[in-house]
Amino acid sequence: MGGSDGILGIRGGGEGEGERAKAERQTKIKWIKRREKWLVILGVILHAVYMLSIFDIYFKTPIVHGMDPVKPRFNAPAKRLVLLVADGLRADKFFEPDSEGNYRAPFLRSVIKGQGRWGVSHARPPTESRPGHVAIIAGFYEDPSAVTKGWKANPVEFDSVFNRSRHTFAYGSPDIVPIFCSALPHSTWESYPHEFEDFATDASFLDEWSFDQFQSLLNRSNEDPRLKELLLQDNLVIFLHLLGCDSNGHAHRPFSSIYLNNVKVVDHIAERVYALLEDYYKDNRTAYIFTADHGMSDKGSHGDGHWSNTDTPLVVWGAGVKYPKPITASSHSDVRFVDHHAHDMPTPTDWGLNGIERVDVNQADIAPLMSTLLGLPCPVNSVGNLPLGYINMIEEEEIEAVVANTKQILNQFLRKSPAIKTWLPAANFTVQMFMYINIFVYLFGCLLMGLISVLLLVEHSPPLYHAYFAMTVFLWTQIAAEYKFLKSLWRFFKGRKFNYLTKVLAACLISIFILELLVHSFTERKLYTWFFLIAGAVASVYLFLSIPRRWGILIFVCLSCWFLSIFTLMPAEIPDNNELVISSGAIILVIGVFARWLRLNAEGNKFWSGICFHEKLKAMPSVLFYLQVLLVGLSSVMVSLSTSHRTENRELHALHQLINWSIAGFSMVLPLFSEKDLLSRLTSIFLGFAPTFLLLSIGYEAVFYGALSLVLMAWILLENTFLHSTKVKKSSATMRNLEENVIAETGDRYLQLSDIRIPLLFVSLVLFNVAFFGTGNFASIASFEISSVYRFITIFSPFLMAALLILKLFIPFMLVICAFSAITKLLRLPRLGCYFLVILFSDVMTIHFFFLVRNTGSWMEIGNSISHFGIMSAQVVFVLLLFAITNVYTKDIQIRPTSPSSQKAV
């Protein structure tokens, strides 16, 4: 394809090209570039549309409407119900004693022993606040379509116990209370501002705030007759959301004294609420439920199906609730729990409750329990089963309650049955297959489009369904229109020798094999360790054969790969290690000083001529280098000061905050003023992003920053060695291509088969290997340690915190793409052609990730599966965006011409 034009490059016309031919060539180049630009835009649109397809396939809401509520045919045991939800309270920390043998919840333990029933409520992943509260109050497990709104807002309206009540009073977090009450006319609610959620403080005051608001409501009723009248009616629900345990668990871990003390706080609030209402009403017609939406892992996180997240306490007492029952031989739970853990286990001895019957429930069972206590219809979307072990009713009324619960679930089934479309799943599957691996004939595609379009219209399908097929047909129309190119391509391969076709096939198979390994490595991180160990050894052998006398380079490349292999053995959840972050600053300084020394001592050495281009360049101002070194050292000092001050005072000092923001912003601008040769500019970029990354680091990822840079430098050295070896072998075909096929206008050449290693290494070796596991699981922002941003901000601000976490994520990617851009300049590759190969490799992985998308399990598992698919689909935009950003730093990089002839052409 030596004479071909397009995104893979354009072959030069030689020195004898006439003026007219040059003008025609200039016009053709402009036309090709304009066409390439439109191709990029089309690719962005296509990937954006098809990326949305998973939400039509995997994340359709199971909620149906139109069912009539089943009216109960029994008398309500209670006039009002109090629901206390301690967000993030795990069962073992609630029931077990402290180090001195004293129980942390003395009031609720007295309730368990003398007034009510108890057990463990088992949540289902995702164990997050919104899904947990939806299960408790509405009786169904999270609507998977809520993932599109981050589990915050209601994508589809649903029924709840609050809806069925006469009036609901609710106080608590702005992330929970509005979900159920903002659109509820018969509700009185209030929530505190987001600014109250400061992770640097003891958050138990948030629980006190909720209680104070409710107490104030009762006090106002003594002066407000209308409010008094409302409070005296039946079917009332009082909801207090207590966020303290969740916030303290995230910030200080569930083993901390702050979290454990918060257990005492919620117990005391439950005691005061009970005393307040019993004194207010004096009728013994109030039912009380105390539980939690989810637990908390030892690392201070939640979301998955581990028992520490799914097991939450449940204590029920008051009107309509059975009294404690001693354990007998017949006491046995036959509940099938939803989180797939073994639950019918002996109660831990240290809980001190072995003699009292324990009644475990699924979390969604609490909604029908509340409805039955108040004599209300169960929420029409509920899937919970009424736990009779808690209900104190005569046998006839128990039967009526169970029948009402059963009819309500049956109504959902009957409503869903006619709505099931047998052809839609197949159609959705066909869309994906038609888009990604279509071996179908174009005419058949048009016929299929017409047939399914009619079906889509008949079924009143969403517009996106039409877009999927329309864009697919459009793509194949464009491919068919390029029949001349396809014929030329066929003639090209037909005229080649068999060994060339074998090489092409082998390159394709090897590429697919590597990409499939990458897909599996997202869950098997140790594959990367083996990969880097092997890569270090193979690279060393190649360097020994190419430049046998340069032992220093050989050892450097091998050790840098082996050093990086350690990080994929590290825990995915980065443990705190402030001392490691500080010492990483010293490692970064050593790397920067070594690169500076190499830059100053490489002049005159032919091997380093491409990397250190001295001609016609001013010497790098020493003050810039020393300033960058100073900022790296200062950031290490601020890591120590900011962390220690926050730990002691539990707040971020304003002066420290200002200094950290200033260092981060100023340091990232300095590389723009560095020298323009490859080594100097990349060294400056490395030092420029280091302060920001250190200030956002909490552990081993700070060392990873230096290790990543060493491997990127090793990659550049390998490519420079390849280029140097081709210079030595003047007669090789590779060297002739490098010299003869340089484009006068851009300095690039056309791609060769051997160049496939560049985008393949870009996708596999660096971008998704090192950057993925170096800073945490970038596929889910929720998986990052929130403490990473505490040196910049501690007041809860989701958008700013997310932006800082994304910046931390982007820094390694920016280093990678800066190195990638430098290599394309060093080898004179068309960067746009490499970009399209990157997209091609990404789409191969996208096909696999499409079938791995999950809509059940923990929020992290669901989010990761979506992110893996989404990031691969968005690669066309993601890489393009990073190219644009890094181009600001790399566009001025200058490379020494490969030879006098090519220098004349350039």
pLDDT tens across 780-824, in order? 444 456 677 878 877 767 778 778 887 888 888 888 888 888 888
**pLDDT, mean of residues 323-347:** 62
Question: Regarding beta strands 236-242 and 286-291, do their DSSP bridges make them parallel or antiparallel, or are they unpaired?
Answer: unpaired
Above 60 in pLDDT, residue 426? no
- According to the model, what pLDDT value does residue 620 have? 52
- According to the model, what pLDDT value does residue 147 have? 59
Above 90 in pLDDT, residue 550? no
- Give the span between the Cα atoms of 250 and 630, in whole angstroms: 34
Please list, in sequence order, all residues whose beta carbon lies within 8 angstroms of the beta carbon of residue 649, skipping any fewer than 6 positions away.
none
- According to the model, what pLDDT value does residue 780 have? 43
Radius of gyration of the chain (CA): 33
- Give the span between the Cα atoms of 643 and 813, in whole angstroms: 26
Tokens of 57: 């396939």
Question: Regarding beta strands 80-86 and 167-172, do their DSSP bridges make them parallel or antiparallel, or are they unpaired?
Answer: unpaired
- According to the model, what pLDDT value does residue 715 have? 85
- C-alpha distances out from residue 479 to 49, 442, 837, Å: 19, 9, 18
Q: Assign 866 a pLDDT band (cuts: 50, 70, 90).
A: confident
- According to the model, what pLDDT value does residue 440 have? 45
For residue 816, how many other CB atoms are within 10 A of its CB? 24
pLDDT per residue as tens digits for the range 556-587: 889 998 998 888 787 767 777 888 888 999 99
Beta carbons of 128 and 302 less than 8 angstroms apart: yes
- Give the span between the Cα atoms of 684 and 687, in whole angstroms: 5
**pLDDT, mean of residues 843-872:** 77
- According to the model, what pLDDT value does residue 67 have? 84
- According to the model, what pLDDT value does residue 322 have? 95
Above 80 in pLDDT, residue 47? no
When mean pLDDT is compared across 40-44, 149-153, 744-748, the lowest value belongs to: 744-748
Beta carbons of 707 and 563 less than 8 angstroms apart: yes
Above 90 in pLDDT, residue 170? yes
pLDDT per residue as tens digits for the range 684-711: 999 999 999 999 888 888 898 999 899 8
- According to the model, what pLDDT value does residue 900 have? 39
- Give the span between the Cα atoms of 288 and 406, in whole angstroms: 24
- According to the model, what pLDDT value does residue 475 have? 74
**Nearest to residue 853, comparing CAs of 44, 48, 60, 47?**
60
pLDDT per residue as tens digits for the range 74-125: 899 999 999 999 999 999 999 999 888 899 999 999 999 999 999 999 998 8
The chain-wide mean pLDDT, for the chain, equals 79
Omega before residue 77 within 30° of 0, cis = no
Sheet holding 311-318, edge to edge: 187-191, 167-172, 236-242, 80-86, 286-291, 311-318, 117-122, 361-362
Question: Which residue pairs from 450-457 have beta carbons closer than 8 angstroms and sit at least 24 positions apart in sequence?
Answer: 452/427, 455/423, 455/427, 456/427
Question: In the 8-state DSSP scheme, what is residue 6?
Answer: S
pLDDT per residue as tens digits for the range 184-201: 999 999 999 988 887 778
* Cα-based torsion angle of the residue sequence 32, 37, 43, 46 in order, rounded to the nearest 10 degrees: -110
The helix (run of H) or strand (run of E) holding residue 442 is: helix 442-458
- For tokens 């030879």, the residue is 899
- Give the span between the Cα atoms of 239 and 229, in whole angstroms: 19
- According to the model, what pLDDT value does residue 761 have? 66
- According to the model, what pLDDT value does residue 304 have? 79
- Give the span between the Cα atoms of 632 and 671, in whole angstroms: 13
When mean pLDDT is compared across 232-246, 467-481, 624-638, the lowest value belongs to: 467-481
Q: 589: number of CA atoms within 13 Å, CB side?
A: 17
- According to the model, what pLDDT value does residue 438 have? 40
Q: Assign 311 a pLDDT band (cuts: 50, 70, 90).
A: very high
Above 70 in pLDDT, residue 8? no
Beta carbons of 472 and 447 less than 8 angstroms apart: no
- Give the span between the Cα atoms of 138 and 378, in whole angstroms: 9
Above 50 in pLDDT, residue 362? yes
The verdict on pTM exceeding 0.75 is no
Percentage with pLDDT > 90 across the chain: 30
**H-only helix segments in 576-677:** 578-601, 622-649, 654-667
When mean pLDDT is compared across 198-212, 442-456, 503-517, the lowest value belongs to: 442-456
**pLDDT, mean of residues 58-67:** 74
- According to the model, what pLDDT value does residue 370 have? 96
Question: Regarding beta strands 187-191 and 286-291, do their DSSP bridges make them parallel or antiparallel, or are they unpaired?
Answer: unpaired
Tokens of 229: 């009248």
